[in-house]
Structure 1
């Protein structure tokens, strides 16, 4: 019986073996695909399909989060001058690696009347910006009171 390329390709696709192994298995089993699969299985030559771990749902979600984080910016301004403009992904990494420095930096930025904004790709406003505005307003009132009290003393 003659073995053709279609048979070899089909066996290679199903068993994930080399052309040589597929051809030999088909020759040993007179072109019978099922018997060839069983033969390769007994020989421990069938290899599982190699799926990269990046195909998992977890990694897909991580990729989406990183993409959104790279498109979204953390912008700190003082009197319409941009002091800092970084993607959220980098900001989160910095917050994890150097949390105390980031916290001190944000507190100093708020105390010194810097505007902190989260800017999305399409310039859509974020809910967190309203919180930043409220915090800035409260801190500005407190610093104004403190300055007035210091001037009267």
Structure 2
């Protein structure tokens, strides 16, 4: 029986062996792919895939998210003075580990008229900034009204 390149490639793909090993295994087993795989397995010639675990799509997605988070900044300003400038990845880690403190801090920042911005790599504004702006406007109106009522009393 003649062995063709397609059979050798298929065996190489399945067993991760050299061309020579694949050809010899197929010749020893009359071109039978299954018998050749068993033969190579008994000879301890089947090698594990060279792909590291980080080739997994899950890890690629996580890596991509972390990269985007590192390139995106959370900036808190008060009258054009930067109070806080950190990457979003760090902000998320802090928010997860100290959620109550972060929530109180954000509320205080909004009440004291600090501007919260999410700035992408190319200094692009994020869609979230529109929401931050709307919240700031509402909170400013409320705090102004409260201050006016306190002054009249």
* Equivalence for 2:97: 97
Deviation at 1:53, TM superposition (A): 1.4
The number of equivalent residue pairs is 134
Map of 1:3-152 to 2, 5 A cutoff?
32-34=24-26, 35=28, 39-152=39-152
Deviation at 1:16, TM superposition (A): 5.5
Segment of structure 1 superposing worse, 122-131 or 82-91:
122-131
- Listed as ranges, the gaps of 5+ residues in structure 2 are 1-11, 30-35
- Listed as ranges, the gaps of 5+ residues in structure 1 are 1-12, 18-22
CA-to-aligned-CA distance 1:85-141 (integer Å, 9 cap, x gap): 000111111111111111001000000000000001111111110110110011011
Deviation at 1:45, TM superposition (A): 4.1
What SS does the aligned partner of 1:59 have? helix
RMSD value, Cα: 2.6
TM-score under structure 2 normalisation?
A: 0.76
d(CA) in 1 for partners of 2:53, 2:120? 30
CA-to-aligned-CA distance 1:40-80 (integer Å, 9 cap, x gap): 32234423214221101111111111111111000000000
d(CA) in 2 for partners of 1:96, 1:76? 19
Deviation at 1:33, TM superposition (A): 4.5
What SS does the aligned partner of 1:32 have? helix
TM-score under structure 1 normalisation?
A: 0.76
